Structure 1
Amino acid sequence: MDFTLTDEQRMFKESVRKFAEKEIAPIIDEAEDKEAFPVEIIRKMGKLGYLGISGPPEYGGGGLGKIEECLFMEEIARVSVSVAAVWVVQGGIPPSILWSFGSEEQKEKYLIPTLKGEKIVSLGVTEVNAGNEVKAIQTTAKRDGDYYIINGSKTFNTIGTISDYIILLAYVDKSKGIDGMNLFIVDRGTQGYTFTKQRKEANKAAESADAYFDDCRIPIKNLIGKEGEGFRKIMERFNVERILVSARAVGVAQAAYEAAVKYAGERIQFGKPIGEFQSIAFKLADMEANIQAARLLTYYAAWLWDQGNMCIKEVSSAKLFSTEMAAKVTEEALHIHGGWGLVKGEFPVWRYFRDARVAPVTVGSSEIQRRIIAKELGFRV
């Protein structure tokens, strides 16, 4: 068993870190304040080949694996969770739907320019009354000759305010249950497709939208794959996304930990650095141990996926532990900074704390992950 990265993986990790520190770090605070995503980051990632890291090279992908995607996510999230969240959409899940299930025409028109950073994509699955329970969605796509007419709404659509198109999940036939769901492409500007910007208290630069579809007519060629396959496609992608979210959690926890260690070594109270007090030193020790544990769980799940295993239990274990770990580590880092951690512009730990709150509830909450793990153990819950 070899836990070391290859030379290529180390070089990749280093290049992503340099990119994040040079291109993202100087502008992210302003983007967070404005609650507006800097689109030039997407363009730059596209030019460097950072979008679609595991995608097929013939369409502009990197041809790498989940390990490399996790390396990327961790390094980006160490600087900005918002940018990491946007990458999951722009370079991760929607493009993987297209390269796995899309037609050649869809790959040419949407996938290739998306991986170049020339087109921006968003994903519409979640609805006001359909979060963890995906089958509860109400959006419909009714066949009308050579068209589908879409009605409904979606929420929490990351970069939905600036996307050129959205991939959404809708019912074609509710009587068939989950076998009546499909994925569709809807272009920005299509009559009947409107959106409004959400105001959030976390991941602020990763602006999100509420999307509305009112008799929105799209051509039949915008159906992704065959009718009846949408639910299974999106649930498989969610399992992938959980690995990425786990790596994102490790990244923001690492950032908070590094900030806490630095502050604990510099802050002098009672004649010595606060890191020399056992109460603080033990907090830092626990943070280090838990980050390493989460990292190992995450990369093990990624490695299993790269070997062709669905690894449902391992993915949910990584997602559960890593995201709850990040919430705790960022809270402890904020506590170590004391009141200064809450002063705007002084230290970044408040942003880390705030952004880490998202992961335990997204792509299946911690409660959902525990349920999945229990079912994989053979219990009916």
Structure 2
Amino acid sequence: MRTGALNVNIINSCTEDLKGYLGQEIAKDTIARPYTSEDFRKWEHYFKEKGLYKEIAEKEIAEETIPALGEFIYTLSQYFPTLACYFMSKILFGILTLKFSTTDRQKEMYLAKLIEGNLFATFASKELESGFELKRMQTVARRKKERWVINGVKEDVVCTEDADLFLMLGKIDVPFQAEDQYGLFLLEKNMRGITVNYDESKKSESPLRTATLTMKNLTVGEDQFLGSLQNQYKVFNQVLDFWNLLLASLLLGSTRAVFDQGLEHALETNRFGQRFMDAPYIRQQFAQYKTELEVTEHYFFFILQQAELQTIEVTQLKFKAMAVSEEIINGILGIFGFATLPTDNVLRRYKSISEAANSVGESPDFYLKKISKQWTKLPS
């Protein structure tokens, strides 16, 4: 098993293929018609066989791979945003698991299976009342001798159908130690004390389907404890920066696809005897969206080329991408009348993935409040 840097050539090769023939092939399954679960598995398997799936889960990430992965997610999102979001989970939560798996026992239990793709891990952090705010979290793991007893509920846990492991973030209560400590636990789906509940009113076959994760007197050993955020903060913060970058990649790629398809639709579709684009207001709206999207994309590619990710810049990029994607996608859907679009219209599907990405946009970062005070000082 290789533990060096990712093979950037594989990632770049996949990105270049997506810009050409591969993107057109995927578009036949995802844009020309509603995609199916078979389409998803087909293309997931394709990238796995190309070697990308294994490379993404490698232990180390060299700095030169960051722009390559960012551009890959951005490009894939233009054709298959659901798969791009799935890969994000694989990238980030595989990396997080490997970064925090410091014992030989943990590596023996999970490392090889994560790399080979036989296991899939997802993140469980959000709560109903507190959202992603650490200090208000109600999920608590209490230390009792050599065991941890966990109680709490996590909401909107993504990819639960495929997930074998949950990377759970919560408070830790250790006797005779300071309060307000937080830890990461790697929990197996079939553990006694874990219940996964789906909202039956929201039927979905999507691999991104969310669920509620309930832990009631869940008792685990040290093998499931990956460390406290206080002790591992530097590594955790680097991974959060990477998460914010890839989330921005997903949102901007999806928004680019909606803009391009919306523009084509406006140029080709007639209403009341004239093209949509012939209306001055609609021309003005598309011109405004074009400028906003290009400015944000320019900032995105500028960040990709930096020698080292800066937390303030990457977090600002994420929130810019969230705001721009919401404005442009909702605006274009509004132009054509969202309520009148067929349920299988591709623009509806892009709106859905954008909303899902925005809902996980708030990262549990210790410094978010400090960063937010500085955003106004940064160039827009």
Q: Please say whether Structure 1 and Structure 2 have the same fold, judged by a TM-score greater than 0.5.
A: yes
Q: Distance in 2 between matches of 1:200 and 1:295?
A: 34
Per-residue deviation, 1:344:
2.2
Pick closer, same or farther for the CA change 1:60–1:47 going to 2, 3 Å.
farther
Per-residue deviation, 1:250:
0.8
Residues 89 and 122 in structure 1, CA contact (< 8 A), matched pair in contact too? yes
Q: Distance in 1 between matches of 2:112 and 2:18?
A: 22
1:77 has 2:80 as partner:
no
Residues 54 and 65 in structure 1, CA contact (< 8 A), matched pair in contact too? no
TM-superposition CA deviations, 1:305-354 (whole Å, max 9, x none): xx234x22211221122111111211232234346862223x31122233
Q: Distance in 2 between matches of 1:137 and 1:340?
A: 37
Residue in 2 that maps onto 1:194: 195
Per-residue deviation, 1:125:
1.2
Give matches, 1:12-23, under 5 Å: 12-16=14-18, 22=25
Pick closer, same or farther for the CA change 1:241–1:343 going to 2, 3 Å.
same
1:26 has 2:29 as partner:
yes
Residue in 1 that maps onto 2:109: 109
Give matches, 1:76-95, under 5 Å: 76-90=76-90, 92-95=91-94
Residue in 2 that maps onto 1:281: 283
* SS at structure 1 position matched to 2:305: helix
Unaligned runs of 5+ in 1: 1-5
Per-residue deviation, 1:182:
1.4
Per-residue deviation, 1:9:
7.1
Q: Distance in 2 between matches of 1:64 and 1:187?
A: 33
- AA in 1 matched with 2:324: M
Unaligned runs of 5+ in 2: 1-7
* SS at structure 2 position matched to 1:224: strand
Pick closer, same or farther for the CA change 1:324–1:125 going to 2, 3 Å.
same
Q: Distance in 1 between matches of 2:54 and 2:246?
A: 13
Pick closer, same or farther for the CA change 1:378–1:266 going to 2, 3 Å.
closer
Larger deviation, residues 268-277 vs 63-72 = 268-277
TM-superposition CA deviations, 1:276-319 (whole Å, max 9, x none): 44333332222222222121222333333xx234x222112211
Pick closer, same or farther for the CA change 1:227–1:145 going to 2, 3 Å.
farther
Residue in 2 that maps onto 1:182: 183
Q: Distance in 1 between matches of 2:353 and 2:229?
A: 37
Residues 54 and 64 in structure 1, CA contact (< 8 A), matched pair in contact too? no
Q: Distance in 2 between matches of 1:285 and 1:69?
A: 30
TM-score (norm 1): 0.80
Q: Distance in 1 between matches of 2:304 and 2:74?
A: 13
1:337 has 2:339 as partner:
no
Give matches, 1:127-146, under 5 Å: 127-146=127-146
Q: Distance in 1 between matches of 2:69 and 2:125?
A: 23
What is the aligned length? 361
- AA in 1 matched with 2:128: V
Per-residue deviation, 1:212:
1.2
Pick closer, same or farther for the CA change 1:251–1:313 going to 2, 3 Å.
same
Pick closer, same or farther for the CA change 1:300–1:234 going to 2, 3 Å.
same
1:320 has 2:314 as partner:
no
Pick closer, same or farther for the CA change 1:283–1:377 going to 2, 3 Å.
closer
TM-score (norm 2): 0.80
* SS at structure 2 position matched to 1:160: coil
- AA in 2 matched with 1:196: N
Residues 99 and 235 in structure 2, CA contact (< 8 A), matched pair in contact too? no
Give matches, 1:1-381, under 5 Å: 11-16=13-18, 22=25, 26=29, 29-31=34-36, 38=40, 42-51=44-53, 56=58, 59=59, 65-90=65-90, 92-103=91-102, 104-173=104-173, 176-178=178-180, 180-198=181-199, 205-225=207-227, 228-229=230-231, 234-269=236-271, 273-304=275-306, 307-309=307-309, 311-338=310-337, 342-345=341-344, 347-364=345-362, 372-375=371-374
Per-residue deviation, 1:39:
5.3
- AA in 2 matched with 1:81: P
Q: Distance in 1 between matches of 2:143 and 2:230?
A: 13
Per-residue deviation, 1:118:
1.6
